[in-house]
Amino acid sequence: MESVIVIGAGLAGSEAAWQLARRGIPVELREMKPQKMTPAHHTEYFGELVCSNSLRSDQMENAVGLLKEELRRCSSLIMSCADEHRVEAGGALAVDRHAFAQAITERIKSHPNITVVEGEVTEIPEAGNVILASGPLTSEALSEAISRLFPGSRYLNFFDAAAPLVTFESVDMDSAWFASRYDRGTPDYINCPLTEEEYDVFWRELIHAQEAEVHGFEDAGVFEGCMPVEVMARRGRDTLCYGPLKPVGLKDPKTGKEPFAVVQLRKDNAQGTIYNIVGFQTHLKWGEQKRVFSMIPALKNAEYVRYGVMHRNTFLDSPRLLDRYYRVRGQERLMFAGQITGVEGYVESTASGALAAIELARRLEGKEPVNFPRETAIGALALYISDQSVVNFQPMNINFGLIPQLGYRVKGKRNKNAEISKRALEALGKLDLEP
């Protein structure tokens, strides 16, 4: 069987390599780590998570919950490792990031059909089937090679932000409490309340805090789903209270009432020794992060094991360049997967790698393609990034707005979404997905 080159061993590349290998197709997986690292990566492991450790909601009434279940039914490596190394996070699927990445690496390296080749890829191979899954931190040399592949086209850049991590023992639990919103699931979040007076002081300092230098970064270009907290705060005094500091459904056990604002912390490792400040992606200077975030009473003595950082993110003008199989239009031997295609998020990146690999395997086997329908989350994402009617293309998380509505009324949003998910899984069940 003809071998396939997969470039990048992040979530999308690892998933693509796995899906090809389990179908008997030899894979050469090229990864520049550990020979060359990026500013956001710290380990040699594949599938390293550089932002949050959460893969977001695991509920079927949520589109990303549906996407996860579809991937599980596609025998996803990433979902298998995530389920094995999850940490409690209420209705969300969060993972012990190091155990998760280590498991992916071990399973990839032990597969007899996968050969790992370390070292930076600086040019696109001139022959053979290639899946480029180099991720949002594509190296400068490979980025230039990709831009040469598409002369005259728009090749876009934007920036992502990662939230700080603090130790559990440094959180003042006299000023905080464990709970999940509306008491759904187990009480896995640490909730740090602020009074209106405390919030006003915090907000004023936040909007005037000094930012680290980030060349080319502008507020208008920030992707809405991963917006730095200071950028969000500058949009208005109450913006954070309707976003990451929303107190709705969180009653302080000391008062029996909802606070004016609540900062939530989510477990970042299985041991519960490290917590992520939810929604606090930032590119403030490190000293400013400690100064301003210490104004949150429960974090007044917080110990930071990682400050928030900004990093570059690169993506294609995919509707003009890629088809529904993530293939380059007119050069079908070349495929892309992951955030570079404009799918935004860990699970979405995984889904793109799975689809690209499944379709490539079918083609190499001489079979008809599996057309994931728009009724499925996997199909809806692929059809969005290849939709040539989308003029001003921006990265997209999976959402029910990308999936056709039911055509009949169902009372209640959650019930309606559950019906959409049920229909999606029924449609997925009709596809020939097994090797």
- Measured CA to CA, the distance from residue 362 to residue 435 in angstroms comes to 9
**Could you tell me which residues are annotated as the binding site for FAD?**
8-13
DSSP-assigned letters across all residues of 367-405: PPP----TTSHHHHHHHHHT-TT-SS---B---GGGS--
pLDDT digit string (tens) for 390-410?
877 878 889 998 998 898 999
Give dist(CA 334, CA 322) in Å, integer.
10
**Does the pLDDT of residue 224 top 60, yes or no?**
no
Peptide linkage before 34 cis (omega within 30 of 0): yes
pLDDT digits (tens, 9 = 90+) for 269-298: 888 888 999 999 998 999 999 999 999 999
User: Which residue ranges are tagged as binding site?
Assistant: 8-13
State residue 413's pLDDT score. Answer: 86
What pLDDT sits at residue 183? 79
CATH T-level topology, domain 4-159+313-429 = FAD/NAD(P)-binding domain (3.50.50)
pLDDT at position 158 is: 67
Provide the pLDDT confidence category of residue 214 given band limits of 50, 70 and 90.
Answer: low
Confidence of residue 222 (pLDDT cuts 50, 70, 90): low
Residue 314, pLDDT score: 79
The top-level CATH class assigned to 164-307 is: mainly beta
Q: Tokens 């970064």, residue?
A: 217
Query: What average pLDDT does this structure show over 202-213?
Result: 93
Which amino acid is residue 424, in one-letter code? A
Q: What's the one-letter identity of residue 10? A: G
| Averaged pLDDT, 165-185 | 91
Q: Where are the domains of the chain?
A: 4-159+313-429, 164-307
Q: Are 431 and 354 in contact (CB under 8 A)?
A: no
The pLDDT of 245-262, averaged and rounded, is: 94
Under a CB-based contact definition with an 8 Å cutoff, are residues 128 and 25 in contact? no
Report the distance separating Cα 2 and Cα 364, nearest Å. 7
Residue 203 has pLDDT above 70, yes or no: yes
Q: Residue 178 — very low, low, confident or very high, per pLDDT cuts 50/70/90? A: very high
Instruction: Say what the pTM is.
Output: 0.81
What share of residues in the chain are helix, strand, coil (percent, to 5)? 35, 20, 45
User: Chain-wide mean pLDDT for the chain?
Assistant: 92
Q: How many other CB atoms are found less than 10 A from the CB of residue 252?
A: 16
pLDDT at 159: 65
Decide the pairing of beta strands 304-306 and 165-167.
antiparallel
Displacement of CA 113 from its chain's centroid (Å): 27
The proportion of the chain whose per-residue pLDDT surpasses 70, expressed as a percent, equals 95
Q: What pLDDT, on the 0 to 100 scale, is given for residue 217? A: 43
Residue 310 pLDDT class (50, 70, 90 cuts): confident
